Amino acid sequence: MKPYPVHGALFGLAIGDALGVPVEMIKRDVLKQNPVMDFTNYNGPDDYKGHNQPLGTFSDDSSLTFCLAESLCHGYNLDDIAARFVSYFFEGYWTAGGTVFGVGKSTEDSISRLRDGVSPKESGNYDVNCTGNGSLMRMLPLLFYIRDYPLQTRYELVKEVACITHGSYQTILSCFYFLEFALELLNGSDKQTAYANVAKNVSAFIAHLDIGQNDKEVLKPLIGEDITSRSEDSINTIHHARHTIQAAMYCFMKTNNYKEAVLTAVNLGDDADTTAAVTGGLAGLYYGFDSIPEKWIEQVQRSNEIRDLCDRLSKAIGL
């Protein structure tokens, strides 16, 4: 296990997110001509409005991740997690600079239901077509809480946290795969061993789930083949969870260090911040906190507060 795994994961995620914010929804072919290589205020083509945020600003991906991490500093409490999500959306809690932006419709609607008193066990969108990445992007801190639980319990807790906003099995299984792979990395596996182990274990586990065959097929590109054998053109970076986890795994597995991984993810375009956040979380965890460029650690908004959160979560979970 690398030193400071929580710091590597959370800073890795937030920096990937912040690198991607200025170019969210910019197309891949545009970025090939003018790739992101550093924190930037890039505003894209003349007709691209962007988010117009300061350098190093992270989005809802990181904010909701930090809300979950804050809650886990005090143990696992679904109601507390939900309350922090409400504070984020309606009060600016854990935003980079007081502004809430870029929140997906299902996440917004679910948090609004939480604000109105709906239980977090009932607040999510359970439509089979609600397959967005709004729960995948914020799931990583749960890894550190569930790491010593048996597989079935890990799955149930991932499902419970995912369903606060997104209840489709395609989303749940994407989140489950994400944390199972991250757990292999946390436990010291090299990336190829982790990939093989997760393919075997997750495949066997979902075979026995009482869900539709179409849902079981969602992870096939990750557990039934080598994602790195695909062409870059075939990697989809729109906002569906299944595409995001595939793209993040492609970027992580194809590269050899933190910087290369997140920049590859950002420059795939479209939902660049979320692809890079998920990629960055894995890369920061695997390569270690010290692998992240110090300049980026200093430039990401609220860096000192993120470091303090990482310290507190590490202490709370004994890492």
Does the 5-41+57-317 domain belong in CATH 3.90.1150.10?
no
Q: Could you tell me if 57 and 313 are in contact, meaning their C-beta atoms sit under 8 angstroms apart? A: no
Q: What is the mean pLDDT of each run of 10 residues along the chain (319 residues)?
A: 94 97 92 92 59 91 98 98 98 96 95 98 93 96 98 98 96 98 98 98 95 89 94 92 97 98 97 97 98 98 98 97
Amino acid 245: pLDDT: 98
User: DSSP assignment, residue 212?
Assistant: -
Q: What distance in Å separates the CA atoms of residue 5 and residue 11, rounded to the nearest whole number?
A: 10
What is the greatest pairwise CA distance in the chain? 52
- The answer to whether residues 182 and 9 touch, using CB atoms and an 8 Å cutoff, is yes
Residue 6 CB coordination number (10 Å): 26
SS3 annotation, 114-161: HHCCCCCCCCCECCCCCCECCCHHHCCCHHHHHCCCCHHHHHHHHHHH
34: left (phi over 0), alpha (psi -120 to 50) or beta: beta
CB of 266 closer than 8 Å to CB of 23: yes
Q: 63: Cβ–Cβ under 8 A, 6 or more apart, which residues?
A: 88, 93, 94, 95, 96, 100
The number of angstroms, rounded, from the C-alpha of 31 to the middle of its chain's C-alpha atoms is: 22
Tokens (6 digits) for 135: 């729960």
Nearest to 166 by CA among 124, 138, 133, 136: 124
- CA distances to 41, 71, 112, 129, 247 from 235, rounded to whole Å, are 26, 34, 33, 20, 6
The DSSP string of 7-54 is: HHHHHHHHHHHHHHGGGTT--HHHHHHS---SS-----STT-------
Cα–Cα distance, 292 to 283 (Å, whole number): 9
CA distance 309 to 296: 17
Count of residues in the chain: 319
Beta carbons within 10 angstroms of residue 208's beta carbon:
7
Two tokens, residue 44: 């894209």
d(CA 26, CA 36) in angstroms, rounded, equals 11
Q: What is the pLDDT of residue 41?
A: 78
Per-domain boundaries in the chain: 5-41+57-317
Q: Which residues contact 225 (CB under 8 A, 6 or more apart)?
A: none
In the 8-state DSSP scheme, what is residue 290?
G
Count the Cβ atoms, other than its own, within 10 Å of residue 112.
14
How far is the C-alpha of 52 from the C-alpha of 120, rounded, in Å? 32
